[in-house]
Amino acid sequence: MTTKTFVLPDLGEGLTEAEVVQWLVAEGDEVAVDQSIAEVETAKSVVEVPSPYAGRVCTLHAKAGSTLAVGEPLISVEAASSPAADAYREEERAGSGNVLVGYGTSDTPARHRHRRPRPRAATGAPAVTGSPAATGSGRPPQVISPLVRNLARSNGVDLTTVEPTGRGGVITRADVERAMVKPAAAAAATGERRTPLTGFRKAATAALSRSRAEIPEATVWVDVDATALWRLRESNPDGPGLLAYLARFTVAALRAYPVLNARFDAERQEIVEYDRIDLGIAVQGERGLVVPAVLGAESMTTTRLGEEIRRVTAAARAGKATAQELAAGTFTLNNYGNLGVDGSAAIINHPQVAILGFGRMLDRPWVVDGELCVRKITQMSFVFDHRVCDGGTAAGFMRSVADAIENPASAIARL
């Protein structure tokens, strides 16, 4: 038997550290090659780390909730001396070395991975933790993530008072954060509460700050009569959703105005246009705002676009979007109307050069053919990098989308 130590692998996409969310194995467990051993949280998403070795776990080098840099020891395994026992995954042999699940570089499909049941306690932290006291439902509070438990502990939040919204009654980070903002009767009037930024929030903060610091942005908006589109959607309940149609019209407009599907190379003072449209969809998840992309949106039908939008947004909300999906966007579509607001001067998702947003579709008084009537109206806002185009181009792009919304049958016939 030989002891093999597996370090935190190269995360890709410029990521240099990760937090151990939870261990999926405990010291003394037997593991197989490619078995998931831990969940880690990066600035991009929550991913599973597979073991490159088979054998018995002898050391877990980090506690759940701690942060490791790439290259630091993660786990040690007493591995058999046979070649198969310490073989790396096929992806790792063919690709660029140790990588996380979802970050592989191989053209060979990964083998099917079976998720093992929740393990017993590892390094002193139970897999599911709750206070001995019962909640109002008579059950102890369920907290799966050590990060959520640590957030509650560091901010003095009693988990027995937190209302869970997670599946199966699990308390999520958002549940704890809501409890944190409630005024505590015993707190001093001049007290303060500090919450450290997670790796994800740090990355988002840096990206947003860079966007506002570097991009001379301008915002334009227009009210759009979406009644015809609304009726089209209502006439076919099993067909594409409203967001799928908005995405399809946006893609068509980007093909007509390709300068907006681009990035600005400040060093060389060049506008770099992309051949492919990887349409980013802004998603508000538990960990914050993320923008996964529908890859190759220009080649998809409206129905296919709707299917891909549902898939990538669901994966992003669950923290399972791939690194490629989170980094590939060439233009962003933001449906902030589902948050209950009508307008927004959004921040461009650097290094993109524009972002298009839609507010709520509301019944409003509108004049049609000289007659006052009630129509479905939405406000469309467009934020663009003034270095890549002027207001005329921006207005042309917006009218292309708005005209398609107001007369969808004609627009679809031309697509």
Tell me how far apart the 2 most distant CA atoms of the chain are, in Å. 87
The dihedral over CA atoms of 10, 11, 14, 18, expressed in degrees to the nearest 10, equals: -110
β-pair partners for 9? none
Q: How far apart are CA 143 and CA 145, in angstroms?
A: 6
List residues with catalytic annotation: 386
Rounded CA gap, 200 and 320, in Å? 13
Give the Cα separation of 199 and 5 in Å (integer).
Answer: 25
Residue 366, SS3 per DSSP: strand
Beta strands in 193-244 (DSSP E): 217-225
Q: Which long-range contacts (CB under 8 A, 24 or more apart) does 258-262 make?
A: 259/353, 259/388, 259/389, 259/393, 260/331, 260/353, 260/354, 260/384, 260/388, 260/389, 260/393, 260/394, 260/397, 261/330, 261/331, 262/330, 262/353, 262/388
What H or E segment, with its residue span, contains residue 395? helix 391-406
- Helices 242-256 and 302-317: crossing angle in degrees, nearest 10, is 110
Q: Which residue has the tokens 């003034």?
A: 386
350 in Cβ contact with 332 (< 8 Å): no
Compute the distance between CA of residue 295 and CA of residue 280 in angstroms, rounded to an integer.
9
Please provide residue 43's backbone torsions phi and psi, each rounded to the nearest 5 degrees: -70, -10
SS3 string, 122-161, reads: ECCECCCECCCCCCCCCCCCEECCHHHHHHHHHCCCCHHH
Neighbours of 258 (CB within 10 A): 13
Under DSSP, is residue 402 helix (H, G, I), strand (E, B) or coil? helix
